[in-house]
A and B are shown apart, each in its own frame.
Chain A
Amino acid sequence: MKLSQIAYIVEAEFLACGHLDSGEITKAGASDLLSDVLAAKAENALLLTGIKTIQMVKTCTIAGIGAVILVRGKIPDIDTIELASQEELPLLSTKLSLFIASGRLYQQGIQGLKHAR
């Protein structure tokens, strides 16, 4: 699924890398624990999270995360958004909760990590 379609489903706005919409996202994970993001094999996956720190962007860059959606209306500071742009990590924000945003994407066919349903 294209990121623009994902953004439409969860009513999210792009904060960084809105132009990077060519890749297909097929799987996603939800976590507020960065240690778990590193331990999961989550390359090219979408991450839904409430963590908006600069370390979140670095962790996602290292783990090879495909895109991030911040939930509950979180907006990071400008340095964090700039780092995401620099690292070409698409960053979005939605006012929906983690539960609702994840549920909507699951319903539309996005799979869990290791393509679990």
Chain B
Amino acid sequence: MASLFRTFRIQKRDFTNAGNASICVKKLLKSLNTCGSIIRRASICGYEGEMNVVMHATTDGHLDLELSEHRIILTVSDKGPGIEDIETAMQKGFSTAPEEFREMGFGAGMGLSNILENTDILHIDSKPGTGTVIRMEFSTGV
């Protein structure tokens, strides 16, 4: 049973507020005395997921945080265009980000591979035209 659940809205194409949800997650985990390396990994993954929604989604999305005794689960969901081929999208350097985001220093095709590197369990559910759900699990168990 989850001991804590929070949900944060992510607005598509809103670069000004992009990242705020992940910064809130980071602060929340810090206030709960979570291990530093887990805070870092979870907030990086949340941020990468959040930026994907801002860059690609066609509707607003959300970031959900679920915290229980032995694990942290972050889920980023959107009803965007979906991912055509997840295996290709996981490759470092593969990107479909628009040029305007690349000019800001994002969209280099590092997001999903970086998420994979920093999660203990990763599950991506995506269908073209339907949307994407990225579930990222971090073990905090002793």
Q: Hey, which bits of chain A sit against chain B, CB under 8 A?
A: 32-36, 38-39, 43, 51, 53-56, 58-59, 61-64, 87
Contact = CB atoms under 8 A, between A and B. Distances in A.
In the A-B complex, list the 9 residue pairs whose CB atoms are closest, starting with the nearest.
A58-B19, A34-B105, A35-B108, A35-B110, A62-B47, A39-B110, A39-B114, A62-B43, A51-B105
Contact of A54 (B16, B22, B40, B109): B16
Most buried by B among A32, A51, A58, A63: A58
Contacts of A34: 104-106
Contact of B105 (A43, A55, A61, A62): A55
B48 A38 contact: yes
A32 B110 CA distance: 14
A36 B110 contact: yes
- Interface SS majority for chain B: helix
A43 B48 CA distance: 17
Interface in B12-34: 15-16, 18-20, 22-23, 26
Contacts of A64: 40
Interface size class of B (residues with CB under 8 A): 20 to 34
Nearest to B40: A64
A63 B48 CA distance: 11
A29 to B, nearest CB: 14
Contacts of B23: 58, 61-62, 87
Contacts of A59: 19, 47, 105
Nearest to B117: A39
